[in-house]
Structure 1
Amino acid sequence: MGAALLEFCRTTGVYGLSFGAILMLGVACLLLYLAIVRGFEPLLLVPIAFGVLLTNLPFAGLMKPPVLEITAAAVHTVEPGGLLYYLFQGDHLGIFPPLIFLGVGAMTDFGPLIANPRSLLLGAAAQFGIFITFIGAIASGLFTAQEAASIGIIGGADGPTAIFLSSKLAPHLLGAIAIAAYSYMALVPIIQPPIMKMLTSKAERSIRMSQLRHVSKKEKILFPIIVTIIVSLIVPAAATLVGMLMLGNLFRECGVVGRLEDTAKNALINIITIFLGVTVGATATAEQFLKVETLAILLLGVIAFAMGTASGVLLAKVMNKFSRTGINPLIGSAGVSAVPMAARVSQVVGSKEDPTNFLLMHAMGPNVAGVIGSAVSAGVLLSLFGH
């Protein structure tokens, strides 16, 4: 009886708890607190945090790979893998991120970008942080070029893009990179305002912008088709992400596939967000996460994000000097592709200087340009280092 009881105790998760597992369970609870109590992007952080929780429960085996028996005749599954292991294949094979882009495209109005094409420059400027961080990661001596490229893309503030590129170039770092990318996306309202205020004066933050012109239905239909062709011809490696983004947007704008639009922007993106979030969190095991390299990734990630925010604001300041119509530099910070969080931050910071100044629609131009810019940047990096 005593031996049986002892054997039972050895099979419990309590027996298998290590310091690393306890620490990661604490990280999961902290992320859940930020999501539920503080309201930091709960749609992202709740599934990610719960994935961290599940993967660090001893003996649960949710990310355990299957045990296979390979013979000359066939391959047999001796023991199936864990649930999250199979769902994770959607991340590993680069399936989930493009599907997220499909939903984002169906939800996104590119009208502000079409009405003000200069916004494209601000979206491009915000990608500057990606390449500065890439250089910094190489210079640190801790990472290869492929790993540095995957870390740099965090500066685009685009979780699906970070996952897509990491799965191709540095799959062993996917967990740390994805959690850093999504965490910084969730912390946009905290990270960006101090940078925006430091780089602008009160007068600049109070600039009123002229009303955007009306964008015709024909323009909105042609935009995703033209962008897909141009981007795919110049950077073929970006075709997967940009193509899915623009297909979703075409669903939205063409007006003849309402059911497909509704599915893409509601049911599909919600399902994929659950799978993506939980499986990304599930990669953050104590063994993989508690490393010097992970801390370096978190540090380089926030640097990338800060540089992207700053470069967008600074370019907007320069453009304002040469523009006949005023450009509020605050909209430059929205060039990172955290849609629509970054655009809302521009509005909030601007409204604190002048409550009657409405910047949201103007900020959406750089914001959606940043989505395209981050996908193109990922394609460039994939073309350079994916061989």
Structure 2
Amino acid sequence: MESLNALLQGMGLMHLGAGQAIMLLVSLLLLWLAIAKKFEPLLLLPIGFGGLLSNIPEAGMALTALESLLAHHDAGQLAVIAAKLNCAPDVHAIKEALALALPSVQNQMENLAVDMGYTPGVLALFYKVAIGSGVAPLVIFMGVGAMTDFGPLLANPRTLLLGAAAQFGIFATVLGALTLNYFGLIAFTLPQAAAIGIIGGADGPTAIYLSGKLAPELLGAIAVAAYSYMALVPLIQPPIMRALTTETERKIRMVQLRTVSKREKILFPVVLLLLVALLLPDAAPLLGMFCFGNLMRESGVVERLSDTVQNGLINIVTIFLGLSVGAKLVADKFLQPQTLGILLLGVVAFGIGTAAGVLMAKLLNLCSKNKINPLIGSAGVSAVPMAARVSNKVGLESDAQNFLL
């Protein structure tokens, strides 16, 4: 009987909590959306599978060495950690002390747990290397840069304002998060509000990069919200676009763009990097990788490197990035009131960004002879290429010969 009891206690099913069961269902939902509905499958599939692995009881695949120590509940080991943190020797008190501790102290406690014989799970290692270091989003930005053609922007620089206007969603989300905190509805700190605000930019890698820096405890919810809403762009944007434009405006045909020279395309990423990075050094990592990827594409002298970045490299990094995000879908971190607030603020951010882009296009038309179809304003959000396809589709509904893409 003792052997049978030991066998049963060793089964993960015997330790399955309600929170883990819910997160397993959430992870299965993400997999279904990726496979059956093809909603951002390149990231939702590894994120969903990472969520499954993270919530398997007793596996500890998403736990750091220190988290594994705390989950083990060894009184002697807890006392050692508590003495270092100068707090009570119980798990709750230690977690609170760690949340307030400096990163250097947190690293010391992690190393101490390793010395006690605990090891981080494989997903925790993926997270540390891919997101904790910031490497994965940067490499993805390099790949996106290598796939981007700035020709249309250089031929019609006014459209830059459409992208700028669409970023109003970011500021609206930050203010919304701080408002929820002010009225005591959902608690958000300023760094957390800033991390949530990036959802309004509709840019997954940026959201992951900044969340990892500003609010790693919210990274799972922010990443899931960002990529889910990016996939839902065909449902979110069209009603807003139709509400803010007339039938006549949707039929506007834009004039043929001028031809952009190769020299312009080569100089643009270099000049862009120098101008922006010198003014905003904090933007240099993301922008630098983006411009480097674009320069490889436009220079024409490193086609092998450009092809590798656009295909093999970005695909490999996407796998590890998705699994790393899935590591943050553990029940005790994801099932919080903040998650509901993040999901709500995310959809509002997308709506405001779309509306701002369309309204900016209408404003530009008031002071220009060469009219811009306001529908392309919605493509100012960074949900590439879905937003551009939606603009083209809505335009074709009004004029079957008007190809905005």
Counterpart of 1:197 in structure 2 is: 242
1:147 deviation in Å?
0.9
Deviation at 1:77, TM superposition (A): 6.9
Equivalent of residue 298 in structure 1, options 329, 333, 343: 343
Q: Which amino acid aligns with 1:115?
A: A
Residue pairs, 1:1-387, within 5 angstroms: 2-66=1-65, 76=115, 78-89=117-128, 90-141=130-181, 142-360=187-405
Q: Give per-residue Cα distances to partners, 1:346-366, cap 9 Å, x unaligned.
A: 111111121211101xxxxxx
- 1:384 is matched with none
Per-residue deviation, residues 252-305 of structure 1 (Å, max 9, x unmatched): 000111111111111110011111111112201111111111101111111111
**Maintained 8 Å contact 1:44/1:186:** no
Q: Secondary structure at the match of 1:356?
A: coil
| 2: CA distance, partners of 1:26 / 1:94 | 29
CA drift at 1:312: 0.4
Amino acid in structure 2 at the alignment position of 1:269: I
Give 3-state SS (helix, strand or coil) of 2:402's partner: coil
- Indicate conservation of the 8 Å contact 1:45/1:186, yes or no: no
Q: How many angstroms does 1:185 deviate by?
A: 1.2
Q: How many angstroms apart in 2 are the aligned matches of 1:200 and 1:270?
A: 38
Separation of aligned partners in 2, 1:255 and 1:27 = 45
> In the alignment, is the contact (CA less than 8 A) between 1:113 and 1:119 conserved in 2?
yes
Counterpart of 2:237, as a letter, is Q
**Distance (Å, rounded) in 2 between the aligned partners of 1:279 and 1:124:** 30
Q: Identify the residue that residue 369 of structure 1 maps to in structure 2.
A: none
Q: Secondary structure at the match of 1:78?
A: coil
Asked whether the 8 Å contact 1:195–1:306 carries over to 2, the reply is: yes
Distance in structure 2 (CA, Å) of the matches to 1:314 and 1:7:
66
CA deviations on 1:43-63 (whole Å, 9 max, x unpaired) are 121111111121111122111
Distance 1:184 1:13, change over 3 A: same
In structure 2, give the amino acid aligned to 1:266.
N
Q: CA RMSD in A?
A: 1.8
Q: Give the gaps of 5 or more residues in structure 2.
A: 70-76, 78-107, 182-186
Structure 2 counterpart of 1:377: none
- Counterpart CA distance in 1 for 2:61 and 2:140 is 23
Aligned length: 358
2:240 and 2:131 map into 1 onto residues whose CA distance is 33
1:299-356: CA deviation from partner (whole Å, max 9, x where unpaired): 1111111111110011111112222112111100000111111111111111112121
Give me the whole-angstrom Cα distance separating, in 1, the residues matched to 2:17 and 2:164.
45
Determine if contact 2:40/2:227 at 8 Å carries over to the other structure. no
Q: Which portions of structure 1, spanning 4 or more consecutive aligned residues, are displaced by more than 2 angstroms? A: 66-71, 73-77
CA distance in structure 2 between the aligned counterparts of 1:156 and 1:250, rounded to whole angstroms:
24
Q: For 1:359 and 1:281, how far apart are their aligned partners in 2?
A: 36
Report the identity percentage.
60
Contact map agreement 1:98 1:244 (CA 8 A) in 2: yes
Per the normalisation by structure 2, the TM-score is: 0.85
Cα distance in 1 for residues equivalent to 2:233 and 2:323: 21
Amino acid aligned to 2:20: A
Greater Rg, structure 1 or structure 2? 2
Cα displacement (A) at 1:176: 1.1
- Secondary structure of 1:262's counterpart equals helix
The answer (yes or no) to whether the contact 1:65–1:85 under 8 Å persists in 2 is yes
Aligned partners of 2:13, 2:334: CA distance in 1, in Å? Answer: 21
Q: Displacement of 1:66 after TM fit?
A: 2.4
Does the CA contact (< 8 Å) of 1:66 and 1:77 recur in 2?
A: no
> In 2, are the aligned partners of 1:195 and 1:309 still within 8 Å (CA)?
yes
Return the alpha-carbon distance in structure 2 between the equivalents of residues 26 and 134 of structure 1. 30
Structure 1: stretches of 5+ with no match in the other structure: 361-387
Give, in whole Å, the separation in 1 of the partners of 2:59 and 2:150: 45
- CA distance, structure 1, for counterparts of residue 221 and residue 292 of structure 2: 30
Tell me how far 1:4 sits from its aligned partner: 1.1
TM-score normalised by the chain length of structure 1: 0.89
Counterpart residue identity of residue 402, structure 2: N
Q: Residues 143-190 of structure 1, C-alpha deviation per residue, up to 9 Å, x if partnerless?
A: 111111111110000111111111111111111111111111111111
Query: For the residues of structure 2 that align with 1:284 and 1:312, how far apart are their CA atoms?
Result: 33
2:125 is aligned with what amino acid?
Y
